Amino acid sequence: MEVEIATIGGYEAVGRQMTAVRAGDDVVIFDMGLNLSKVLIHDNVETERMHSLDLIDMGAIPDDRVMSDLEGDVKAIVPTHGHLDHIGAISKLAHRYDAPIVATPFTIELVKQQIKGEEKFGVQNDLQKMEAGETMQIGERTELEFVNVTHSIIDAINPVLHTPEGAVVYGLDKRMDHTPVLGDPIDMKRFREIGREGEGVLCYIEDCTNAGRKGRTPSESVARRHLRDVMESIEHYDGGIVATTFSSHIARVKSLVEFAEDIGRQPVLLGRSMEKYSGTAERLDFVDFPDDLGMYGHRKSVDRTFKRIMNEGKENFLPIVTGHQGEPRAMLTRMGRGETPYELDDGDKVLFSARVIPEPTNEGQRYQSEKLLGMQGARIYDDIHVSGHLREEGHYEMLQALQPQHVIPAHQSLKGFAPYVDLAENQGYKVGRDLHVTRNGNMIQLTE
């Protein structure tokens, strides 16, 4: 059977991930993501109303025109998890394919919300839920399997396409977490089985994000301990404490909520995306928040809550807000600019349970936000965080587990591929032979 990989997006920079695998006449698409930084760099761009081709020209969504060179029918569109760089282009591209969108329940719910917000295209694709550990027939001789992985968002999987030539493992976005705060540990047992059963692994497509960092990415339980240490150290502070993190990072939000109560403060979630992700996770029973946990997204209800906090005493609350990257319209940035009823005083604490995404726009905005908060006297606690991506030893362990015939580095720029290429070559792979360093819009034929 012919097996071919189309590397459509995310092979020149992080963002707008999209890869298609053809096995015989059947094609499966993995991810359809958005590169948000290409959107935000323009003022007042509203992607909801934009046409796909304009967004492709901006570099914001994958240029899927290469799909017309791929013979066969698309049988499924499979986003691996709910981060925007993996699902953000579905509302702009999925309607071009007569295929269902297949994903885990939390991811499907986020896809559904995204499609609802789309104003240009009517996306009618079927939405099919599939849990980690389940399989689905794709063609007569091909099957799709979801393997549970751990990442900075819940319900993440690595999809595997089983073909008569071996398995194609799409390995984007995971860390090896054996003690996650929410959800199950990564299913390394299943990866090892896939590496040894039948024809083994034909191809492994890997996220190279932290390949240049030594050692292993710590578990979420380490970030949780770090957070507990910080919060206990300020337990007796009798002024304002404010925290921010990735809204989609439900495990982290859960830790913040729990520790707020431990130090005698009432947690409250503020900001549109805080309300969206935590509300969704709670509704789908992925997390058990206290019954009286307030979540407010709309400007008016947020400001009303801030007023209440000021009236009842800042020392009784922990607002958990958006703005960990210094996004100009996010809640923490507005607090820094003094645009909310919440008044910061000398010595008040601001906790960033996040790391700055190393990109000039984020770095600049975050710098500005911290300066503004600092000018009001706030003390900053930074980097209370662990990454969601594998480091060097995680990558090594994955290669050991899967023993793939071919490897394709992804989810990075050429510069970002380099440390992974080094590691893979040290494991016996060779660029140009079985280690395929590629760009957006290429085809790699693996078997004939």
**Cβ proximity to Zn ion, 357 vs 444, nearer residue:** 357
Does 123 count as an annotated binding residue? Answer: no
How many angstroms separate the CA atoms of 409 and 435, rounded? Answer: 8
Tokens matching residue 447? 């078997």
Query: What is the number of other CB atoms lying within 10 angstroms of the CB of residue 288?
Result: 10
Tokens matching residue 168? 């194609």
Query: What is the number of other CB atoms lying within 10 angstroms of the CB of residue 266?
Result: 17
Phi and psi (nearest 5°) for 258? Answer: -65, -45
**Cβ proximity to Zn ion, 83 vs 334, nearer residue:** 83
Q: Is 252 in the site for Zn ion (CB under 5 A)?
A: no
Window of 24-32, 76-84, 347-355, 437-445 that interacts with Zn ion by CB under 5 A: 76-84
Name which position in 173, 206, 207, 348 contacts Zn ion (CB under 5 A): 173
Tokens matching residue 194? 């896939």
**Cβ proximity to Zn ion, 173 vs 348, nearer residue:** 173
Window of 57-65, 75-83, 396-404, 418-426 that interacts with Zn ion by CB under 5 A: 75-83
**Cβ proximity to Zn ion, 111 vs 302, nearer residue:** 111
Work out how close the CB of 209 gets to Zn ion at its nearest, in angstroms, rounded to a whole number: 9
**Cβ proximity to Zn ion, 157 vs 408, nearer residue:** 157
Name which position in 16, 83, 190, 436 contacts Zn ion (CB under 5 A): 83
The site map against Zn ion for 120-159 (x = CB under 5 A) is ----------------------------------------
Instruction: Kindly give the pairing relationship between strand 201-207 and strand 241-245.
Output: unpaired
Does 85 count as an annotated binding residue? Answer: yes
The site map against Zn ion for 391-430 (x = CB under 5 A) is ----------------------------------------
Does 388 count as an annotated binding residue? Answer: yes
Residue ranges that bind Zn ion, judged by CB under 5 A: 83, 173
Give the residue ranges of the annotated binding site for Zn(2+): 81, 83, 85-86, 151, 173, 411
